[in-house]
Structure 1
Amino acid sequence: MLRYSLIFLIVAIVAAVFGFGGIAGAATGIARVLFFVFLILLVISLITGRK
């Protein structure tokens, strides 16, 4: 999940460089959501002791 978050972040940066503001904003939002889902799952995994 962290990999997808980084991919969307790279897409957002590339889109911003080329001037595609709408796509960059959407990709940034998706990357942010995926990153927070990753963090929540990581915390749950650490609390329960599962890998």
Structure 2
Amino acid sequence: MLKLALLFLVISIIAGIFGFGGLSAATAGIAKILFFIFIVVFLVFLVLGLMAGKAVL
């Protein structure tokens, strides 16, 4: 998912360079959403991993 966010970020930068403002804003918004979803999923799995590690011990 992080790769998709980076891909949309690169597309946004390229579109901004070539003057496609609407497309640039849209892809930047998608990249932002995907990045925050990635952060939330990462934190959930981190907490679950820490809790599972303590249960085994």
Partners of 2:21 and 2:33 in 1: how far apart? 18
**Pairs within 5 Å for 1:1-51:** 1-49=1-49
**Higher alpha-carbon Rg:** 2
Distance 1:35 1:45 in 2: 15
Identity of aligned residues (%): 44
Q: TM-score, normalised by structure 1?
A: 0.96
Displaced runs of 4 or more, over 2 A: none
Q: Which runs of 5+ in 1 are unaligned?
A: none
TM-superposed deviation, 1:3:
0.1
Q: How far apart are the structure 2 equivalents of 1:11 and 1:23?
A: 9
RMSD: 1.0
Q: In the comparison of the two structures, how many residue pairs are matched?
A: 50
Shift of 1:31: 0.1
Normalised to the residue count of structure 2, the TM-score between the two structures is 0.86
Q: Which residue of 1 aligns with 2:55?
A: none
Of Structure 1 and Structure 2, the greater helix share is in 2
